Structure 1
């Protein structure tokens, strides 16, 4: 995964910075492959708002992009997304939560952000969504078939 993520078409620093300046962040969308679900992450939240970057897994790229854009909009409007709080405004009828991403995951999942920042001196949150019973991966009864598609840390 790391090789594929790092070797796809390069995006210029200028292009990323332009989107950050205009929209508040740049969103990287990574298609699913044989070993990983689709995922998406932000670049620029740290730079523009001193907020952790955000990553999410396992949904369609369109939905992942929409969720991260919604998160960016909240941050632009002064909200700081916090670990362990349920947010009801992301997916209709389902809450989401944010988890801290261990820095050891940054090299493997945030390749373009690492190049943009030229270091690993930033933090990230993972937007985690529940199963169809509104259970999160760390809750009893969560659909075990979804664990590998939804979370870095659980």
Structure 2
């Protein structure tokens, strides 16, 4: 028995995910980027992460052939960046908020974290490609990361603000 796609989509919407914008620069110097919420650590030794990209995305070829890419973990107040990089047919870099960061790749100076990678592997993931990046450098700020759950942006609750359930 196979799950209904609408039911599967509703179930996965309940899973909180980080909000990220991945960026790269093509061989001809063009900036490319997309919003991704399927981002995760994969391995500590070697340090690997993964991010998934729809095979129909306009940025697919740029990322599957890139030597390097940067994953920006968005922070509080950066939801509009996620929405802009999720749109098709717009200049995602027009706002000028992406500046040269690690490896000279376009990044958000005020991101919660940034992870610069060399492309380690591209794997098949059904209608998506799984981009596996070998982490070369990482940057971590003190900003609170943005989370996406139930089709809305949210902020995590710090552990020191949680109360014990009795």
Q: TM-score, normalised by structure 1?
A: 0.32
Give the greater-gyration-radius structure (CA): 2
TM-score using structure 2 length: 0.30
